[in-house]
Every structure is written in C-alpha cells, then in structure tokens.
Structure 1
Amino acid sequence: MSLASGITKIHCGTFDAEQYWRGQELAKLPGLVDRENLRIVSMMDELLFAFCNPTEALITRKAMNPSHKQYLGDIGFKFYNNEFDLDGESKETGKSMLQLISEADQSAFATLAGEKPELDPFAAIPYTKEASERHGFGCRMPDMDIIRRVNTKTYSTEMKEQLGLRNDSFIVNHSSELQVLGETLLRQGSFLIKDNYGVSGQGNLLVESASILERVVSYTAMQENKGKLAQFVVELYLDKACDFSCQFMVTEDGAYQLISVQRLANDEFAYQESYTPEPAFLQMLESRGYFDLMERIAKGLYKDGYYGHVCVDSMQLRNGELIPLIEINARKSMSLIKNQVDRFLTPAGLQGNLRYYSVTTANAELQFEDVLAAMEQSDLLYRPGKDAGIIPLTANTLTINRKADKPYKGRLYVSMAGRHGEVRQELHQKLSGLLSSFSLQVMN
C-alpha cells in the first residue's frame, strides 16, 4: 500500500526508549556497549505493523523489506509504510525515530498529514511533540517529566510502598550507600543492582560476591568524582518460578482498561518469548486480587499525571507466592504486540507465541527473501486457512549488520501460530533447523 490517503493514525517508535528518558547526569553500571545489538533494536520498529489497520501508517527507520511487506499484506495486514530510509545510508543509532521524524523535511510526510492523524509511538520520548508539530500530526501525551518519572525503578519501588506490597527493593543514591547495603545483602545471598532506566537485560547486574560489589562501587565512585549522580535500585535475588506481565490502558479521563496477561520466558533478565497463560493461571490471579491491584496501580499512575499504555512486570516464586509488582513500564510492550497478533489469529481459532531467534553468521549473501521463500517451500509459513504456521514479524533485524568480511549478528522475530503448544514447539524446532541451513548459528 503506497498511497497515503485518509490516514487516521501513525505508528512509530524507538524500542530502547529508556536511553532517551535517561539523563546525561546519571552514573551507569559497568557493561559493554554492543553496537550490533543497538542496530538490531533500532530495526524493531517493524513490529509495530501489528497495531495497524488499512487507514493507519507505520513509519520505520528503514523502509520495510518489500517481500516482507508483501507477505504481511497477503495474509491481511494492510497499511501504509514509508518507502525511504529516514536515516539515509547511516547504520548509526544515536538519534531516536522521533528525532529523525522531527528533523525530516516537511514534504516527507505531507501526504499523511491531510486528516491530522494521531501520532501513536511505542513510547512517548523526547521529540514526540516536535515531530507532531512539524508535520501537522495530532499528539496527546502527558508531560515528558511525568513520563520520565513513572518509568523509573525508583517510582515502582515507591508505588510498592504506597500500595502496602512486599517490597524487597531499596533506593540507592550514592556509592557509599551501595557499599553498605550491598555488604548487608550479600550475607543473605545474591542481589540485583538495577539502573533507574534499565531495560530487558541492560542495566541489571547480578552481584554474587564481594569482589563484584567492590568493582561496581569503585566504578560508581569514579563517575561521582566526575560529577555524575548515582541512582540505582537494589533488590534481593528471589527464587523465581515464572515471569508474567499485565498490559492495560489508562485513558485520558482516568479509566482503567485491562488488555491482557502474558507469560514470559526470560534469559539472563532479557526478554525472550511471550505466550498465553493457561486459564487456571488467570483464575489464580483473579482469586488473589491481582487484577484489583492492577487497577489500583492505574489509579496511582493517573493521580501522578500519567495516561497511556502500561505494562506491569510480575513474577511468581517457587513457593507459590506472587510478586505482583516488580516494575512499571509506562509504554507499549512486546507482550502487547503479541496480544495484537493474537487478535489477528483468534478468528481462525489460533494462538501465537511471540519469540525471537538471535543468530550469528558469516553469510554475506544472506537475504530475508531467501529465508521467506525457504519457509514457504518447507510449509512453515503461515497462510490464512492453515492450522499452523510461522509469521515472520521482522526482516531488517536479520540483515542490518550484514558484513562482507566477518561474522555478524542478526535477529528474527516471529509468531508461532497454532492451536496447541505442542504444535508451536514443533514449528520452533523446524525453524531452528531451517535457519541452520542458511549457515545461521542460532544462539537461543
């Protein structure tokens, strides 16, 4: 769909929103910057097609792969998408999507602006209002200072206190506090240090020994000596059985709208997969007042000035205890995207697991089109009318780091559509084998 007439809503986004909320004055936890991973994350905006209908547009950093977009259109996802790269030939990720849109020539999206469509980003970050104003889009969002505040780990910690919940989290504002608290917690076992704006595997550090604590304290003190401010949340490492999350909306007038609950598979604190919980799990949550608590969190957020999408991370411990609030993410989420794909699959009686495949390869000739064709030939690709199949949700994430002279990383997001978990597991195994046939080493 290349014509952009009558567009009512524009989807776009930057998935590592936390780095754009984060102030330059804050100290960081030790860790390596993975440029290839950052480039992959910058391509994840393709996933937002799941929110689009034929009168809506998706603006992506790079134009979507034509074969991928054709396939999505064939199975029922029709939407407008830019046919040019917003960042030109660059592979650098310093500027967010919203900044790129705010700096784009006004003619770039002139055909979209006729009906004053609403700009609906994955997360409201700096430059959202500037992007809207430049191109004549509508934009309703809380003040940026409010958005920054409610997305901090300290805000989630304070919310636990306000709601009278079990709270294993401690707010730390200086390296000396971190040392004293850390030494105390190590006597009980391992603990986590969380960056105030950390996300999914980045900004979480597991401390299992005094030597690790000493290294973090020293690294933080060194930054403080240069004028940086320490702002961490420290919490005991709990004996977890499972992760799950709740997605809901807080409307502009303060109403609470429950959307879904999703079970999560995480690896080393990083998101790996979303899947539908069993009815018995949801009944257990209902009986323990989980959904009443989510509504109370929504009311607290609204009282503090926030409205919009929310994803609350939760867990259940091995002893059966619920930890209903780990942290609040005041934005859309991977699990919300999974729910959107499920809404598309529901009329066919199917459900999907949203997951990704991290790969490394030295295949400089790798093309997404070839992988798509191989999935079709192997009868793995989802088509309407099939009882099971795989929907590739991204394409550019697989090839953005492609190099001619050395191995590189890629990632492929998919939805495994089927009627039963066993079928989806079989699809997973077959796709892993197919990717290996392209000389792709699957890392997860």
Structure 2
Amino acid sequence: MTSIKRIAKIHCGTFDAEQYWREPDLAKLPGLADPENLRIVAMMDELLFVFCSPSEALITRKAMNQAHKQYLTGIGFRFENNSFDVDGELKQLNKSMLQLLAEADASAFAKVAAGKPELVPFAPIPFTGEASERHGFVCRMPSMDIIRRVNTKTYSTDMKERLGLPNVSFIASSCAELRETGASLLKKGAFLIKDNYGVSGQGNLFIDSASILERVIAYTESQEKKGKQVRFVVEPYLDKLCDFSCQFSIDESGEYRLISLQRLANDEFAYQESYTPEPEFLQLLEGEGYFELMRRTAEELYKDGYYGHVCVDSMQLKDGGLVPLVEINARKSMSLIKHQIDRYLAPHELQGNLRYFSLRSVNADLRFEDLISGMEEAGILYQPGMSAGIIPLTANTLTINRKPGKPYKGRLYVSMASRNADIRKDLLMQLHSLFKTLSLQVLN
C-alpha cells in the first residue's frame, strides 16, 4: 500500500467461505477437488473492487494485474490496493485470505491502518477478528458460532417451518435416516442430497437411482464409523423454471434494508450469471408477498443474533409456483456484486449482467494484457460514453494457473453493459469470436 490518506474501509475476502465455516467432524459427500479451480476461486477476491470508493482499500491475495487496475481506474473505479502478494507463491492455498491477513506483518499494512478503518469481508469467517486486532482495524460482526449456524442448510430448512412455508426438505442426521428418506423419495422421482455447508454446485448430489444412493451411503458410512457426524438436507428435485435471489442487509439495531433482486442462470447447480429481472417478474413477486417474506426472514435472523448482508436463493417452478426460500446465505453474494455494477452503470443509462467463462488457454504464453488489448481492438472493451461494451472484472482468475509451455485453465468474470438484452447477445458473440482468435477454449 502506498497511500497515506485516511482509509475508511478495508475490503477483502475469501469466496469459498463455507469450507471455513464447516466443523471438522462433519461427514462430507463424495466429490473431487480440482487444484486449478481452487486456485481460481482464491483469486476471486479481485471482484470486491466494486464495493470500493476512493477512500477505501481492497486487499487481495495476489497483487492485482497492473493493466487491469489501470483500466478500472480509467473507467472510474478508484481505490487503494496492495502492490505485493499476501500469500507469497500460493503455497498457502489452505489458508483463507483472513488467516493470511491475521498472520501478516503489521508493518505491511501500517499506512492503511493509520486511520483505524473498518474491515469489511466478503463473508465473516474465522480469523476476521484476529486480522482486525493485529492491524488495528475496526471489526463489526456477530459471533462465529452464530455465523456458522445461520449459514447451514439445516438452518434454512428450519427457517421454512418458522415462517410457515411449505417444506419438502428433510434433515438426515445418520446414514440410516439418509437411506430411509432417500428410498422414500426415490419412489416419487429424483432427489438432491445437500451438504450442510455446500455452495454453488459443490456439495449437491443428484440422486435418481437406488444404486447411486447406496454408493453415497457406503461412502458416508465409512466416515460415520470413524466418528464423523452426518448432517445432510434431502429434498425432491423440483421441476424448476428459473432461479432468482434477493439481497438485503440487517444492521446492528435490526433494521432491514432491501437491496436488490436478481435473476440467475445456473449450470446444473453452479452459479453462472446474474441479470436484471423484468418489471413483470417483480410485480409477480410483490403480489405473492415475496418481499414481505424477506423482511420476516430478516427479523428471524436478527432474533438469532445475526446482522450483516444476506442473500436468499429462491426459485420459480414450471407450473408457476414459487419456492421463496431455497436457502439462506448470510454473506455478500455474486448477485450483490452485480448490483454494485448496476449502480456504476445507472448514470450512463446502461444495465449490465455478471457472468463468467471457464476457459482453457491452448496458448501457454497468453497473458491478460493480450485479452484486454484484443477486446479494445475489437471495439468491445467498455469505456465511458459507449452505448455498449464489456467490462472485464477479473484478471488473475484467468492466468493464475499459467505455467511456461503448458496449456492452462482459467476463468474470466465480465459485465456486458448495454441498454437491452439483444445487444448483450451480440457482445457475447463477439467475445466468443475473440476467444477463438486467442486460442481460448470455452469450457462452460
């Protein structure tokens, strides 16, 4: 950090917060960890620049790409950022950004800490308090026990009962219960098993046969015999039309503030895109009492000791019915990031979306600078005054796995700014064409 001006807030975070909330004695569902994906997710803290004002700072695990930072500054995003890597050579991937910050030399952040700024994480996780204490940051958040509790799938399931909502979810607290509930649900169709701390495609299993169920039970039983606690949510696989989510906040006095509602595009169970809903959809939700339900949800969360940001995942079924509360995420969210971009674009009378592309670079020497130059030459790189353009929101997520002489996997987050969806489709086609020119294969 080079600035000596007073910094009001420090933004930072770890996007896979769920793995730091989960208790070590919980049984896990089968799944494969992809080291390349883990490194990419570790770089997603770049996205938090959207929350920064000129008097605020963003601390990222890796120093931001200079070409990317220069571009963001040029289009109006001004903030302080560390010019050094906090985690060295990425050998500490098992440590969250907050733990790294808690262990960092206090002198490294002495200038930004001088005004006693507030530490504002993407999600409050262990070491948030320790990081604040070490560097003299102000920290406002509930206890970690409360945060862990309200972010479980079982809490969301119980909340449906408290709010008097139809509830088709079941809590399985043993392999015996998982087998019994699963067998009963299979008689009616496919169902889902959800890890208590699963998120965005990780920790959700689709079960459509007895043989698959038995394989999951066998995997889980081996953990149960070793003393692990089984704690899964089991629910029917619903005939869904679309996903959407509501973002709101609860302050320390319990005051509720509705922030936004976003439509979602998901690939299987994983987040892929947030986009602005049609006015008719918002009117439908208002008529169904959806927003009043969000206020009541906030009241219940506050009764349980939680305050801060919340994102409630919801869905609309193909028969027109609503499932207003699928799960509660007591943290910031991708859709909240999208909302922040909306705020930036609003004075230009534009709307954006938020989406990502999972990419594999056949060209081992490809750099982010090559991509942003290609976008500029193609006339699709957004600049103020343009009626349409693409804003690259991340850079290190694209190149973190880059090694000399080897193809690598990356991810690019963007917002496509325009006045209507048809123009965004055209931008998408042009971006895909550029990917081909740069030997980037789209994986999603």
User: TM-score interval w.r.t. the shorter chain?
Assistant: over 0.9
Q: Distance in 2 between matches of 1:81 and 1:91?
A: 22
Q: What does 1:251-266 align with in structure 2 at a 5 Å threshold?
A: 251-266=251-266
Q: CA deviation at 1:362?
A: 3.1
Unaligned runs of 5+ in 1: none
Q: CA deviation at 1:82?
A: 0.2
Unaligned runs of 5+ in 2: none
% same residue: 70
Q: Distance in 2 between matches of 1:168 and 1:356?
A: 32
Q: Contact 1:200/1:271 (CA < 8 Å) preserved in 2?
A: yes
Q: Which residue of 2 aligns with 1:298?
A: 298
Q: Does 1:175 align with 2:175?
A: yes
TM (norm. structure 1) is: 0.99
Q: Which residue of 2 aligns with 1:282?
A: 282
Q: Distance in 2 between matches of 1:105 and 1:375?
A: 39
Q: Which residue of 1 aligns with 2:227?
A: 227
Q: Distance in 1 between matches of 2:206 and 2:153?
A: 16
Q: Which residue of 1 aligns with 2:139?
A: 139
Q: Contact 1:39/1:92 (CA < 8 Å) preserved in 2?
A: no
Q: Which residue of 1 aligns with 2:367?
A: 367
Pair 2,430 (structure 1): closer, same or farther in 2 beyond 3 Å = farther
Q: What does 1:15-414 align with in structure 2 at a 5 Å threshold?
A: 15-414=15-414
Q: Contact 1:39/1:91 (CA < 8 Å) preserved in 2?
A: no
Q: Contact 2:362/2:441 (CA < 8 Å) preserved in 1?
A: no
Q: Contact 1:185/1:191 (CA < 8 Å) preserved in 2?
A: yes
Matched letter for residue 299 of structure 1:
E
Q: Distance in 2 between matches of 1:391 and 1:3?
A: 26
Pair 67,248 (structure 1): closer, same or farther in 2 beyond 3 Å = same
SS for the counterpart of 1:324 is strand
Q: CA deviation at 1:75?
A: 0.2
Q: CA deviation at 1:405?
A: 4.4
Q: Distance in 2 between matches of 1:64 and 1:235?
A: 41
SS for the counterpart of 2:311 is strand
Matched letter for residue 388 of structure 2:
A
Q: Contact 1:14/1:96 (CA < 8 Å) preserved in 2?
A: yes
Q: Distance in 2 between matches of 1:422 and 1:92?
A: 44
Q: Distance in 1 between matches of 2:93 and 2:413?
A: 20
Matched letter for residue 52 of structure 1:
C
Q: Contact 1:248/1:310 (CA < 8 Å) preserved in 2?
A: yes
Q: Distance in 2 between matches of 1:227 and 1:272?
A: 36
Q: Contact 2:342/2:351 (CA < 8 Å) preserved in 1?
A: yes
SS for the counterpart of 1:115 is coil
Runs of 4+ in 1 over 6 A off after TM superposition: none
Q: Distance in 2 between matches of 1:67 and 1:401?
A: 18
Q: Contact 2:4/2:112 (CA < 8 Å) preserved in 1?
A: yes
Q: Distance in 1 between matches of 2:309 and 2:425?
A: 30
Q: Distance in 1 between matches of 2:363 and 2:99?
A: 33
Q: Contact 2:392/2:414 (CA < 8 Å) preserved in 1?
A: yes
